[in-house]
Amino acid sequence: MSDLHIRREGRAGRITLDRAHALNALSYEMCLEIDAALRGWAEVDAVALVVIDAIGDKAFCAGGDLGEMYATGSAGDHGYGRRFWADEYRMNARIAEYRKPVVTLMQGFTLGGGVGLGCHASHRVVCESSRIAMPECAVGIVPDVGGSYLLARALGRVGAYLGLTGARMTPGCAIWAGFADYFVPRAEWGDLVSGLVASGDPDMIPVQTTPDSPLAAQAAAIDQVFASNDGATILTALDLVGGDFAAEGRAMIARGSPLAQACALEVLRRLGPDPDIRAALTQEYRFTYRATAQSDFLEGIRAAIIDKDRAPCWRHRSLADVTAAEVADMLAPLGVAELKLETREEETP
């Protein structure tokens, strides 16, 4: 059985993920097939929009399939991961810059690579079960797949908070933070897709009342504690604030790779308040290009996915121990290996 169903229905190009047993995790082959479909539909007048959804209740897409990256990287083959990330990032950029509307329907978990697939679309739909997060630091890399672009655009210092902690957003939080646009109850999705296919018009997506956002209620505390781009200063601010918010923040930060977290803060600083998707992907690729050889990535995958002991041995004891020189080395330009994204003229076959 194919992991993807790619077809044309009515006025829509349809892409449906079908790996429910693996929480619809993206394989390298799936990234290539999705990108090829988008390229093929770009100049087809009969395709008015693209609809991306997934089979199953638990997840739209819980991230990238990292098993092969771990196997090849552990064997000293760093090329596989670099190719995977580069091609995935090209797909992310294509979705973000696509000339036609792209509608994504994100139930359950949308994590990491799923954010790259679902949250760069022009029309992003969530439901009651949606839980969206960028948990990359917990496996030793920076928030990637263009996630740093979304984090940089979030209000105040919410992006820094989400990037360092990997906190999961409920539907109201995702809309408030800029990771989604519409709340539509899951029971109405069948009729919604049928209408999109028949009309080719994304404006038919109903505007409904957005659920409350617990994240918005914490915005003032987040802005205060995560005001700095320096990890040590953030940890000190948490100690000074105290209370449940600080305790929870400390605990979530402690789960992640200090090197990845320090680099994530620097990526957000470089992008600034008016980020560009291509600049974000370029910064991310500088880290992930080096990830299997020079970061905590392989150890993070071992602890989370291979051995599942949830006890990674990071290179640093604390976010405060990472030096500016180490961050600069991980994010230094790659020269001839710098990420290459297609121009508009190169988008179609």
- Asked if 108 contacts 60 with a C-beta cutoff of 8 angstroms, the reply is yes
Under the banding of pLDDT at 50, 70 and 90, the label for residue 37 is very high
- pLDDT digit string, tens, across residues 218-249: 999 999 999 999 999 999 999 999 899 999 99
CATH code assigned at 22: 3.90.226.10
Under the banding of pLDDT at 50, 70 and 90, the label for residue 343 is low
Mean pLDDT for all residues in the chain: 95
d(CA 294, CA 266): 17
d(CA 22, CA 290): 27
pLDDT at 79 exceeding the cut of 50: yes
- Asked if 83 contacts 149 with a C-beta cutoff of 8 angstroms, the reply is no
The confidence score (pLDDT) of residue 347 equals: 46
Q: Percentage of residues in the chain with pLDDT exceeding 90?
A: 95
The confidence score (pLDDT) of residue 344 equals: 45
* Region for 100 from its dihedrals, namely left if φ exceeds 0, alpha if ψ lies in -120 to 50, beta otherwise: beta
The confidence score (pLDDT) of residue 202 equals: 98
Under the banding of pLDDT at 50, 70 and 90, the label for residue 65 is confident
Please choose, from the candidates 123, 157, 152, the residue with its C-alpha nearest in 3D space to the C-alpha of residue 225.
157
- Asked if 158 contacts 198 with a C-beta cutoff of 8 angstroms, the reply is no
Q: Is 317 helix (H, G, I), strand (E, B) or coil?
A: coil
Give the pLDDT mean for 173-183.
98
pLDDT at 342 exceeding the cut of 90: no
Give the pLDDT mean for 14-33.
96
pLDDT at 104 exceeding the cut of 80: yes
Question: How many C-beta atoms lie closer than 10 Å to residue 329's C-beta?
Answer: 13
Question: How many C-beta atoms lie closer than 10 Å to residue 288's C-beta?
Answer: 26
DSSP string, 41-64: HTT-TT--EEEEEESSSSEEE--B
Give the pLDDT mean for 276-281.
97
Sign of CA dihedral 118, 119, 123, 127: positive
The confidence score (pLDDT) of residue 30 equals: 97
The confidence score (pLDDT) of residue 242 equals: 86
Give the pLDDT mean for 16-40.
96
Please choose, from the candidates 314, 294, 290, the residue with its C-alpha nearest in 3D space to the C-alpha of residue 302.
314
Contacts of 135 (CB under 8 A, 6+ apart): 63, 111, 112, 166
Give the pLDDT mean for 268-276.
96
DSSP string, 158-207: HHHHHHHH-PPBPHHHHHHHTS--EE--GGGHHHHHHHHHHH--GGGS--
pLDDT at 1 exceeding the cut of 80: no
Domain span including residue 328: 4-346
pLDDT at 349 exceeding the cut of 90: no
**DSSP label of 104:** E
Q: Where are the alpha helices (DSSP H) in the chain?
A: 28-41, 67-74, 79-97, 113-118, 147-153, 158-165, 171-177, 189-199, 214-217, 219-225, 231-241, 243-254, 258-271, 277-294, 297-301, 324-330
Whole-Å CA distances, 95 to 15, 78, 215, 278: 13, 26, 27, 12
The confidence score (pLDDT) of residue 237 equals: 96
pLDDT at 260 exceeding the cut of 80: yes
d(CA 298, CA 73): 7
Whole-Å CA distances, 112 to 7, 196, 317: 25, 27, 24
Contacts of 154 (CB under 8 A, 6+ apart): 162, 177, 178
What total number of domains does the chain contain? 1
Q: Percentage of residues in the chain with pLDDT exceeding 70?
A: 98
Sequence-separated contacts (24+) of 80-84 with Cβ below 8 Å:
81/288, 81/291, 81/292, 82/288, 82/289, 82/337, 83/28, 84/28, 84/31
DSSP string, 144-164: -TTHHHHHHHSSTTHHHHHHH
- Asked if 331 contacts 266 with a C-beta cutoff of 8 angstroms, the reply is yes
Instruction: Name the amino acid, one letter, at 19.
Output: R
Give the pLDDT mean for 145-161.
98
Helix (H) or strand (E) holding 209: none
